[in-house]
Amino acid sequence: MALNKKELKQKEKEIKKFNRQKFKEYTKQKNRKSVPEQEYVTEMKNSNNLIEFDNLQTYFYTDAGTVKSVDGVSFDIPIGKTVGVVGESGCGKSVTSLSLMGLLPGPYGQIAGGEIRYNSKELGKTVNLAKLPQSIHSKIRGGEISMIFQEPMTSLNPIFTIGEQIEEVIYYHDPKETKEGRKQRTLELLKSVGISRVEEIYKSYPHELSGGMRQRVVIAMSLACGPNFIVADEPTTALDVTIQAQILDLLRELKNKINASIMLITHDLGVVAEMADYVVIMYAGRVVEKGDVHEIFKNPKHPYTRGLLKSRPVLQEGTERLYSIPGAVPNPINMPSGCFFKNRCENCIDICDTVYPELIDITDTHKVTCHLYNERKEG
Ligand SMILES: Nc1ncnc2c1ncn2[C@@H]1O[C@H](COP(=O)(O)OP(=O)(O)O)[C@@H](O)[C@H]1O
Ligand code: SF4
Ligand SMILES: [Mg+2]
């Protein structure tokens, strides 16, 4: 039922009041001088994992209402493995990674619940990144955890040379290194990401390089501190197809060399097929299917995953045909009751209208949230 003007004004007022209260609470928490360790020191559930997302909830308190961008997300990133996080635009992939990195835009964006457990080498213990004070978070960010964004210029400063920027990262994490040592390490890093003429690139400014070269530089920068975890958010989306393939090859090669774990965010299942060991399919802020990449590609269960697989470009009768899942992601402020995918689902049954499906084990390494498999189990 549509609200009249007066009711709308009243509602707006209530939302603003609610948000002010929330900001006050979060700011008070954040500004505390000392935070007792027991608030953020925790234990991994499984020692083979580097990261465990456990029921993460990340909200944006906007003037239009609370946007539940990430609404109870759980998945693991095992040591030395690549996990692909996939879904259409707006399904919460980037917000999941920003929550992990401690880079949510405050005070609007906040972690409202859940844990992100991380086994930190530098700190020598497992911490809950969702509760970690900023001062400690910034130490591990850009050090043992590094991030590669879609648009390389996000990470590059146009007024400094490539050499200066990589050296600055080295200096920040290793202030004892000599000037000459920093330069040598920078040149080595540039070489390791497949750049030739390294002396020339070292002296260049970002605008003098192509998109693909800039992304290589950003990857070199992200390796500067020997990370054991790399978050790559659509690292090849802004590049042309041939360069995409080169950057993916490079990431794969580096992963094997440094034995890092990678969280690879992409809307393209093709990229995941080539790169990942595990895959997490997200829809409207939740995980709808997850597990071993081969199992899911061979036997996709969720109608959304099947739609995504169908929407990959295929060559048919000499022409490239693109399927896209009909309809759109529901408004995150007013999620429907029942399954969030119901309005777009070809297999919808009665129960889907009212009850959100629970996570079901298809195998030990393949899980799905969809009523179709519940029914089958019971019947
Ligand atoms: N700063 C913000 N303010 C309000 N809503 C946001 C903000 N950033 C992201 N969102 C919302 O959170 C949801 C998830 O966004 P995002 O994680 O960026 O999606 P994607 O999967 O494309 O990376 C979207 O509905 C988006 O509109
Ligand atoms: S729960 Fe129902 S609506 Fe949702 S994906 Fe499964 S069949 Fe479709
Ligand atoms: Mg994104």
Q: What is the pLDDT of residues 27-72, one digit of tens each?
A: 898 888 889 999 999 999 999 999 999 999 999 999 999 999 999 9
The response to whether residue 332 sits with its C-beta less than 6 Å from ligand 1 reads yes
pLDDT for the residue numbered 331:
87
Residue 179 Cα to ligand 3 middle (Å): 37
Give 379's pLDDT tier (boundaries 50, 70, 90): very low
The rounded Å distance from CA 366 to ligand 2 centre is 17
User: For residue 189, what is the enclosing H or E element?
Assistant: helix 179-192
Residue 342 DSSP SS3: helix
Q: Provide the pLDDT for residue 245.
A: 85
Q: Where are the beta strands (DSSP E) in 16-64?
A: 41-42, 49-62
Q: Which residue puts its alpha carbon closest to atom 18 of ligand 1?
A: 94
The whole-angstrom separation of Cα 360 and Cα 187 is: 50
> What pLDDT, on the 0 to 100 scale, is given for residue 251?
87
Q: Which protein residue has the closest C-alpha to ligand 2 atom 7? A: 348
Sign, Cα dihedral of 348, 351, 356, 357: negative
Q: Compute CA distances 146 → 77, 99, 139, 143, 371, whole Å.
A: 15, 14, 11, 6, 38
Residue 199 CA, ligand 3 centroid: distance in Å: 34
- Distance from residue 290's CA to the centre of ligand 3 (Å): 19
The answer to whether residue 224 scores a pLDDT higher than 80 is yes
How many angstroms separate the alpha carbon of residue 93 from the centre of ligand 3? Answer: 6
Query: Can you tell me which residue has the tokens 């955890």?
Result: 145
317 φψ region: left (φ > 0), alpha (ψ -120 to 50), beta (else): left
The single residue listed with the structure tokens 């969030």 is: 340
Centroid of ligand 1 to alpha carbon of 96 (angstroms): 10
CB 355 within 8 A of CB 338: yes
Any ligand 1 atom below 6 A from CB of 87 = yes
Q: Which residues line ligand 2 (CB under 6 A)?
A: 302-303, 339, 341-342, 345, 347-349, 352, 357, 370-372
What percentage of the chain has pLDDT greater than the value 70? 96
375 pLDDT more than 60: no
User: pLDDT band at residue 321, thresholds of 50, 70 and 90?
Assistant: low
| Ligand 2 atom closest to the CA of 371, numbered from 1 | 1
> Confidence class of residue 313 from pLDDT cuts 50, 70 and 90?
low
| Atom from ligand 2 closest to the CA of residue 339 | 4
What's the pLDDT at 314?
54
| Backbone dihedral angles phi then psi of residue 152, each to the nearest 5 degrees | -55, -30
Residue 82 CB less than 6 A away from ligand 1: no
In contact, 83 and 277? CB cutoff 8 Å: yes
Q: Is the distance from the beta carbon of residue 357 to the nearest atom of ligand 1 less than 6 Å?
A: no
Ligand in closest contact with the CA of 281: 1
Residue whose CA lies nearest to ligand 1 atom number 20: 90
Tokens in use for 371? 């009523």
Under the banding of pLDDT at 50, 70 and 90, the label for residue 378 is very low
Q: Give the ligand with the smallest distance to the CA of 350.
A: 2
The C-alpha atoms of residue 124 and residue 118 are separated, in whole angstroms, by 11
- Greater model confidence, 375 or 223: 223
Q: What pLDDT was estimated at residue 49?
A: 97
Q: Rounded mean pLDDT of 354-378?
A: 89
pLDDT in tens, 207-222: 999 999 999 999 999 8
Cβ distance 122 to 143 under 8 Å? Answer: yes
**What atom in ligand 2 is closest to the CA of residue 288?**
5
- Ligand 1, closest atom to CA 233? 23
Pairing of strands 229-233, 261-266: parallel
Residues 6+ apart with CB under 8 A from 325: 88, 304, 307, 308, 310, 311, 344
278-291 pLDDT per residue, tens:
999 999 999 999 99
Distance from the alpha carbon of residue 200 to the mean position of ligand 3, in angstroms? 33
Using DSSP bridges, classify how beta strands 319-321 and 359-363 pair: parallel, antiparallel or unpaired. unpaired
Q: How far is CA 241 from CA 149, 237, 254, 269, 275, in A?
A: 17, 9, 20, 15, 16
The number of the ligand nearest the C-alpha atom of 108 reads 1
Instruction: Tell me the β-bridge partners of 83.
Output: 263, 278
Which ligand 2 atom sits closest to the C-alpha of 340? 4
**Residue 261 pLDDT more than 80?**
yes
What tens digit of pLDDT does each residue of 76-119 get?
A: 999 999 999 999 999 999 999 999 999 999 889 999 999 999 99
Q: Which residues contact 348 (CB under 8 A, 6 or more apart)?
A: 339, 342
Question: How does the average pLDDT of the chain come out, rounded?
Answer: 91
Question: Atom 6 (ligand 2): residue with closest C-alpha?
Answer: 370
- Alpha-carbon span 273 to 245, nearest angstrom: 13
Q: To which H or E segment does residue 223 belong? A: helix 211-223
**Model pTM score:** 0.92
95 lines ligand 1 (CB under 6 A): yes
Q: How far is the CA of 379 from the centre of ligand 1 (A)?
A: 39
Spacing, Cα 293 to ligand 2 middle (Å)? 21
